[in-house]
Amino acid sequence: MGHVQRRLASTTAKLASSLSVAHLQKFPPKELLSVKGQEIPKSTINPEAWASLQPPPSTALSAFAHRIGLASVLTSTEITQQVCTHPSFVQLVQQHKPHDPAPVTNGQLAAIGNSLMGLFATEYVRATYPYLPTRVMKAAVTAHVGPLPCANVAQEMGATPLLRWHRSRGTLLKSGVLHSDALASIPRALTALVYNQRSLPSARKFVHSYFLSREVDLRGMIKFLDPKKALLEMVKKFVFNSSSRLLKETGRYSNTPVFVVGIFSGEDQLGEGFGSSLKMAEFRAAEDALLRVYLTRTPPHLVQFPSETFPVGLGDVFTKAPEGEYKAPQLVESEIMYASSGNSFTRSA
Amino acid sequence: MLGRQLPSFTRFLARTYAPKWPRPKPGTAERPPYRAPDPLINNPSATVTNLPDEELTFIHRPPPTAPSPISYTTNPVSPLLKDPTPSTSSALPPLTRPSTESSYPRLTTEQIAEIRRLRSVNPVKWTRGVLAKKFNCSQQFVALVAATKKSTRRQLIRNRDVEHEKNREQWSEKRRLVVAISQKRRQYW
């Protein structure tokens, strides 16, 4: 979805969501009216801005807390309100209501939650797919807990009418705030809240149930520049040979030939691919051979995470309770250096 | 071929699709139309499961070249993650490129020194291909043994690209189109 479509969707969502005035004693409030007898009204306020400043009803906040199953953590509506308030909202309040106290925002919580989610997603992807190349692992982590999935999960939870934020354009010093950025802060803040009020294993359980149970297609994320070269390197690592053999063919001199080529190491078939030319079939066979290794996953009952050593319960993690059981898996062969962007993200000493 | 009109009373008896007559001429390359075997009937790799409770028969016919099945670390699909099977004398499918299996004789140190000398003296005249032919080794071996300096290599590649660009400008529109199509197809590999 492009920027324009997203903006249209957020504007319509804003207009469509009904504004509750149950928290007001009198409607319409004085600030919207012009005082009788005075030619110039007391304070001019844009109706849309006024609407965006109004808090969501406490019933909606309480319903949200129960809907996502965190009623015991989000004990009061103030905490839920804090979770649903993006830091960009402060500017809006100070602009229109400078005498009101600044609202409590989810900025800090979102930062902690983001780090925690990254931790859980990384250990999950690494434990599940031990042979995955680093760049694909990073893409998988983004697909699980990146800004877009966070915003989607927030929408699925039903946090859109509860979100309080303010759109801003990007400047040289500060980046802009879009609707999806503001929405993404809500699940992150929830993760941090669960971590603060309960424990790390509970926060991990929350992230697993909402984010790491989502289906992510890894096959589409793995693209090859030269799969034959990459396969040669991998095969050398495992001390194997590689030779391509023609398994089946049809229509060689016709308009539509089909070749099925297999890449063999001695008698073992490493990969198979088809194509309309021998080169294409070999290319696909090399891709298949690499994908068979990369997409090898640990069976779900054998997956273990390093963060399982953290004990359940509040308090000092080192002294409160004995650490959980964790048996480190055997290290597998490291990834090949070809097309891996090498040391580009590390600082040289 | 279908110019003749059948009388109305025989039209529902005769078939006009894939006609059996006229027969292919003997002694020519004409062949009767190819009738592919129906993959639904007599498929050797089909697994048939009877479900008597629902009075159904479940038939699974895997595609001819199935994509890689799910691979687990406890039972990996790739032979790279398992021990290599000991070689038996069973016949393997033919190699796609049989010529690459040729083994070259080992070169002496004098020959290697001569390769290096010629390549450094005039890399444009003594190219990898020419040297490989002269000394009966592979081009990759020449590149390994007598690699040119990176600056020289870059200059040679630049010269080659300029020459290729000049040639490409002389192409006809049709050739340009054909090449563009094949490049686009390459993207979909």
Give the residue from chain A lying closest to B68, CA to CA: A292
Phi, psi of B99 (to 5 degrees): -65, -25
H/E stretch holding A222 reads: none
Note whether B116 and B133 are same-domain residues: yes
Give domain status of residue B70, yes or no: no
Residue found by looking up tokens 């830091």 in the block: A87
Let me know whether A99 and A182 are in one domain.
Answer: yes
Query: Is residue B89 situated within a structural domain?
Result: no
Q: Which amino acid is at B166?
A: K
Residue A340 has a CB neighbour count (10 Å cut-off) of 15
Domain presence at residue A321:
no
Q: Does residue B93 fall inside a structural domain?
A: no
The closest of B143, B64, B81, B22 to A293, measured between CA atoms, is B81
- Helix residue ranges per DSSP H, chain A: 3-16, 47-53, 58-67, 77-83, 89-96, 107-128, 134-145, 147-157, 179-197, 200-210, 227-237, 278-294
Contact between A302 and B74 using a beta-carbon 8 Å cutoff: yes
Rg over alpha carbons for chain A, rounded to the nearest Å, is: 27
The verdict on residue A314 lying in a domain is no
* Pairing assessment for the beta strands B47-51 and B56-60 based on DSSP bridges: antiparallel
Contact A262, B92 (CB under 8 A): no
Cis amide bond preceding A41, omega within 30: no
Nearest to A132 by CA among A295, A261, A324: A295
Q: Looking at the domain assignment, is residue A301 inside a domain?
A: no
Residues A150-188 as b or e (16 or more Cβ within 10 Å = b): bbbbbbebebbbbbbbbbeeeeeeeeebbbbbbbbbbbb
Q: Count other C-beta atoms under 10 Å from residue B48's C-beta.
A: 10
Question: Please, which pLDDT band fits residue A325 given cuts at 50, 70 and 90?
Answer: confident
User: Residue A258 forms beta bridges with which residues?
Assistant: A250
Is B172 at the interface with chain A, CB within 8 A? no
Q: Indicate if A289 and A184 belong to the same structural domain.
A: no
Domain ranges, residue A101: 54-212
Same domain, A161 and A262: no
A287 found inside a domain: yes
Please tell me whether residues B162 and B188 are part of one structural domain. Answer: yes
Structural domain ending residue among the three candidates A268, A294, A320: A294
Report yes or no: A80 and A95 within 8 Å, Cβ to Cβ.
Answer: no
The C-alpha atoms of residue A44 and residue A32 are separated, in whole angstroms, by: 7
DSSP state of A247: E
Q: Does B80 touch chain A (CB under 8 A)?
A: yes
Domain edge (last residue) among A212, A238, A256? A212
The mean pLDDT value for B159-170 works out to: 97
Which residues in B lie closer than 8 A to residue A234 (C-beta atoms)? Answer: 80
Residue with the bigger pLDDT between A319 and A261: it is: A261
Interface contact flag, A246 B94, Cβ < 8 Å: yes
Per-residue pLDDT tens for B70-82? Answer: 899 998 999 999 9
- The 3-class SS string of B148-175 reads CCHHHHHHHHHHHHHHHHHHHHCCCHHH
Residue B180 contacts A, CB cutoff 8 Å: no
| Chain A nearest-CA residue for B66 | A272
Residue that has been written with the tokens 């790491």 in this structure: A212
Residue B72 domain flag: no
Q: Identify whether residues B137 and B125 lie together within a single domain.
A: yes
Q: Is residue A331 part of a domain?
A: no
On the 0-12 / 13-18 / 19+ scale of CB atoms within 10 A, A106 is buried
Q: Nearest residue of B to residue A296 by CA position?
A: B71
Structural domain ending residue among the three candidates A272, A294, A316: A294
Average pLDDT, chain B: 85
Number of folded domains in chain A?
Answer: 2
Q: Determine, yes or no, domain membership for A180.
A: yes
What's the pLDDT score for residue A186? 98
Nearest to A294 by CA among B73, B189, B188: B73
**Tokens standing for residue A36:** 């009788």
Residues of B in contact with A265 (CB under 8 A): 79-80, 84
Q: Give the chain B residue whose CA is nearest to the CA of A259.
A: B96
Find the DSSP H helices in B6-149. 109-121, 128-135, 139-145
Q: What is the band of B1 on the pLDDT scale with cuts at 50, 70, 90?
A: very low
Q: Angle A179-197/A200-210 helices, nearest 10 degrees?
A: 140
Contact (Cβ atoms closer than 8 angstroms) between residue A259 and residue A245: no
pLDDT tens sequence across A264-298: 999 899 999 999 999 999 999 999 999 999 999 99
Count other Cβ atoms within 10 Å, centred on residue A34. 13
Q: Are residues A231 and A109 in the same domain?
A: no
- pLDDT of A143 > 50? The answer is yes
* CATH label of the domain that carries residue A264: 3.30.160.20
Determine, yes or no, domain membership for A145: yes
Count chain A–chain B contacts defined by CB atoms under 8 A: 90
User: Cβ of A272: how many Cβ atoms within 10 Å?
Assistant: 21
Residues A121 and A195 in one domain: yes
Rg (CA), chain B: 31
Q: Looking at the predicted structure, is the pLDDT value of residue B90 above 50? A: yes
A175 and A280 co-located in one domain: no
Q: Are A23 and A54 in contact (CB under 8 A)?
A: yes
Percent of chain A with pLDDT over 90: 67
C-alpha to C-alpha distance for A48 and A15, rounded to whole angstroms: 9
Looking at the structure, tell me whether residues B138 and B114 fall in a common domain. Answer: yes
User: What is the total count of domains within chain B?
Assistant: 2
Report the helix count and the strand count for chain A, using DSSP H and E.
Answer: 12, 3
For A193-248, write each residue's pLDDT tens digit. 999 999 999 999 999 999 999 999 999 999 998 999 999 999 999 989 999 999 99
Distance from C-alpha of B146 to C-alpha of B120, rounded to nearest angstrom: 8
Average pLDDT, chain A: 90
Contact A299 B74 (CB under 8 A): yes
Please indicate whether, in this complex, the C-beta atoms of A296 and B95 are within 8 angstroms of each other: no
Give residue A110's pLDDT band: very low, low, confident or very high (50, 70, 90): very high
Same domain for B140 and B153: no
Quick check: is A342 in a domain?
Answer: no
Residue B161: give the domain boundaries: 149-189
**Which residues share a beta bridge with A177?**
A168
Q: Is residue B112 part of a domain?
A: yes
Residues of A whose CB is below 8 A from B36: none
Name the one residue in this structure whose structure tokens are 């071929």: B1
In a domain, residue B166? The reply is yes
Determine the longest span between alpha carbons in chain B, in angstroms.
91
Report the predicted TM-score, pTM, of the whole model to 2 decimal places.
0.78
Tokens 């790279």 correspond to B80
CATH of the domain at A149: 1.10.1520.10
For residue B64, tell me if it sits in a domain. Answer: no
B123 domain residue, yes or no? yes
Count of residues making up chain B: 189
pLDDT at A39: 65
Whether the per-residue pLDDT at A44 is higher than 50: the answer is yes
Q: Are residues A199 and A237 in the same domain?
A: no
